[in-house]
Structure 1
């Protein structure tokens, strides 16, 4: 448990060497500008307007923020509070869920770990702790979730259901915008849902480390609740741009599977998480994934007169390559791109 950043970081004033990133990867002390034109989708607008705005945002940015999304603000607040309480629990309780090497555990386990996918083999660690567990179907997995705090299963369970419903709604709108047949994103493409809760404690020197390294999401679609504390940055047109947290808004990321299904019409945004020296930051992430053996390929109706740009593959094989490439978006796309 000594590895969990939240267990020891409050008493340190110097960043340990194994958390200091190489010069070309660390965020540095320069200001990253807040992006002023990040798409903000209001779901209370007309359907046709919403479809066009989502399609444009997914093509230009690869992500967008959503307001009036239908998920209760009280539920969002209660869920954020209970997951923050989890990271303040005594170490002896959290030890029951902790693993130093999640790669050796069943892929659908509920586990707490620190840093990246495999702390045991990393040279440089991320400044974060992470709790993750599957959540669809809820009745199959909820029994494996933490029993403490007392309301964890209740609030996170309700939240996971509502965020899944919201995610499927987003996919229906994207489906319409791409001209896919209704119901294209059925259970085979959306059968997996993973809840990932990131905790980034206050850091003695945020200029030298990262909460999450630059990457693109390997799944279908991601929904992020980032609370009130800034930390999300996206990489666009060769520069990093900050994403201002809008309280109760959702950040929606286009995953690499959607980029491929759309034959490259949509883009998966590269992003990272930075730390700060004054406040802890906790985020709640819901990943919608295809089932492991699902074949992913460009949808026929996205091709028109264009040839497919990507070869078919199984989602589980994509995830293996993703680990090998360490989330490098360009390297991943090159693996599956059909060469002329």
Structure 2
């Protein structure tokens, strides 16, 4: 299992494939941004307004009183960390470099347009809500991983759908606009593990990117690492320790497309840490492969023409994949331009 970063002995230097030119790893400013905290126990009107404000500005926010129990969150975090502590031989059957394999363990993601590798190991699950035995290909160790991960997946997708309905109400869309094919694709659950890194200043855990899906919900863990582009600069995202059991919500590229740019999908990246490992869990809700995604009529007029072409989701992903991720702080703009109406 030498290809898994966390399974190798501690390194004192980085292999060349993990080292980026300085202009591709610009340091974050000394400023930091606290994500807006949205209390879902407030009135629907208050929650809608807060979500729209955050979605138009930062594209990220935290939710509390979201209805997912503390126990479910703690168990998910615990089994994720426990998986990466398993002996190498127990993880080996799930390792694959085939990006088309729905459930797999992989490392050092390499994007199509370059040979860069990122300081991350990832256990990825696919969950098809329309299938029978949805978890038969999932790892069966640690003992409760399947049970805990499935429970977290079902609960968190339910939360994501609630958030989308609230956004519909706030945007003036039909409340079920995102039901059906727009959210009917496989749900993806990533358990990301970023081992301690000998030189965090010259590498990345994940490159600058905008999520290609509709919406993502993140269980972040206690070790920081998320950075976002805010007002043209990279800034660190800081968690408020007085807000326990918050989940981070990230609006994906498809929401920006549907709202014709009213809501923003913000470029973000993950930095590494020299002293501590970081483990996070991210759930992504996406359209079906053949779903046509484009700006909703609600956001179009003679004065406000479409900013994006209407594409099938699999076509969008192909466009997304050929954009060189991590190339510059303008990645989001570059990606948007490839999708612009012509």
TM tier, smaller? over 0.9
Task: Give the Cα separation in 2 of the matches to 1:142 and 1:203.
Answer: 33
**Once the two structures are superposed, what CA deviation does each residue of 1:207-229 show, in whole Å capped at 9, x if it has no partner?**
11110111100000011110111
Task: Give the Cα separation in 1 of the matches to 2:52 and 2:301.
Answer: 17
How much does 1:162 deviate?
0.5
Deviating beyond 6 angstroms after TM superposition, the runs of 4 or more aligned structure 1 residues are none
How much does 1:187 deviate?
2.2
Partner of 2:117: 125
Partner of 2:294: 297
Is 1:177 aligned to 2:177, yes or no? no
Partner of 1:116: 109
Partner of 1:241: 235
In 1, are the aligned partners of 2:214 and 2:254 still within 8 Å (CA)? yes
List runs of 5+ in structure 2 lacking aligned partners.
326-330
Is 1:231 aligned to 2:225, yes or no? yes
How much does 1:118 deviate?
5.3
Q: 2:257 aligns with which of 257, 260, 279?
A: 260
Alignment of 1:201-216 (within 5 A): 201-216=195-210
Partner of 1:21: 20
SS of the residue 2:202 aligns to: coil
List runs of 5+ in structure 1 lacking aligned partners.
none
How much does 1:309 deviate?
2.1
Q: 1:33 aligns with which of 10, 31, 34?
A: 31
Q: 2:319 aligns with which of 311, 318, 321?
A: 321
Q: 1:67 aligns with which of 64, 83, 89?
A: 64
Is 1:42 aligned to 2:39, yes or no? yes
* TM-score (norm: length of structure 1): 0.93
Task: Give the Cα separation in 1 of the matches to 2:26 and 2:3.
Answer: 23
How much does 1:117 deviate?
4.6
Partner of 2:85: 88
Q: Report how many aligned residue pairs link the two structures.
A: 331
Alignment of 1:51-66 (within 5 A): 51-66=48-63
Partner of 2:328: none
Task: Give the Cα separation in 2 of the matches to 1:55 and 1:317.
Answer: 28
SS of the residue 2:124 aligns to: strand
In 2, are the aligned partners of 1:32 and 1:240 still within 8 Å (CA)? no
Alignment of 1:128-147 (within 5 A): 128-137=120-129, 139-147=132-140
How much does 1:123 deviate?
2.8
Task: Give the Cα separation in 2 of the matches to 1:277 and 1:238.
Answer: 27
In 1, are the aligned partners of 2:114 and 2:324 still within 8 Å (CA)? no
**Once the two structures are superposed, what CA deviation does each residue of 1:82-114 show, in whole Å capped at 9, x if it has no partner?**
011111111112111112x323x34xx211111
In 1, are the aligned partners of 2:215 and 2:249 still within 8 Å (CA)? yes
Root mean square deviation of aligned Cα: 1.8
